Amino acid sequence: MSNNLYVFLIIPLVVAIIVQVIKGIIDISKGRFSWKNFSGYGGMPSGHTALVVSLATVIGFKEGIQTPAFAITLVLTILIIRDALGFRRYMSDHSRAINDLVKDLPDELEYKYKIQEERIGHTPAEVIVGAILSFVFTYILYII
């Protein structure tokens, strides 16, 4: 592969789109598809994980794993995954608690408060599946 743009930009974006489509198919099969969920946070598998794992994978393949570019990308990948599993998951828990409190309000007060998005973070399984799918699709796209 001589075209670096394809390797470093297009492959991770295509992989992220493929994983988002898989997420949409899973949501359809569970009867909960919405465009908001399709383009939003959370859900199985993790699109954010897929994007950064794909980027780290192509850098590892193209530049090597003992390069500064790979090290920087690996740190970015760890931060994104940690955010999905930590802070955004924490926000999901808080949103569910807030929504439960709002639902317990009398009807005349409940309408004043916006229902919070609850699907923000990821479970470990969603991140792991996103990473595995990302590596597999990245490898396939890299070798063709």
| DSSP one-letter string for 59-118 | HHHHH-TTSHHHHHHHHHHHHHHHHHHTHHHHHHHHHHHHHHHHHTS-HHHHTTSPPPP-
Do 10 and 24 have their domain in common? yes
Do 44 and 76 have their domain in common? yes
Confidence at residue 6, expressed as pLDDT on a 0 to 100 scale: 80
Do 57 and 82 have their domain in common? yes
Do 96 and 138 have their domain in common? no
Confidence at residue 109, expressed as pLDDT on a 0 to 100 scale: 83
The tokens describing 17, both together, are: 């789109």
Confidence at residue 35, expressed as pLDDT on a 0 to 100 scale: 67
Do 82 and 107 have their domain in common? no
116: containing domain: 92-120
Nearest one of 43, 6, 40, 53 to 22, comparing CA atoms: 43
Do 127 and 110 have their domain in common? no
Confidence at residue 13, expressed as pLDDT on a 0 to 100 scale: 96
Confidence at residue 40, expressed as pLDDT on a 0 to 100 scale: 67
Domain count, the chain: 2
Confidence at residue 1, expressed as pLDDT on a 0 to 100 scale: 43
pTM (2 d.p.):
0.81
Confidence at residue 107, expressed as pLDDT on a 0 to 100 scale: 82
Separation between Cα atoms, residue 70 and residue 56, nearest integer Å: 6
Confidence at residue 61, expressed as pLDDT on a 0 to 100 scale: 95
Spans of the chain, pLDDT less than 50: 1-2
Is the Cβ–Cβ distance between 71 and 78 less than 8 Å? no
Do 62 and 105 have their domain in common? no
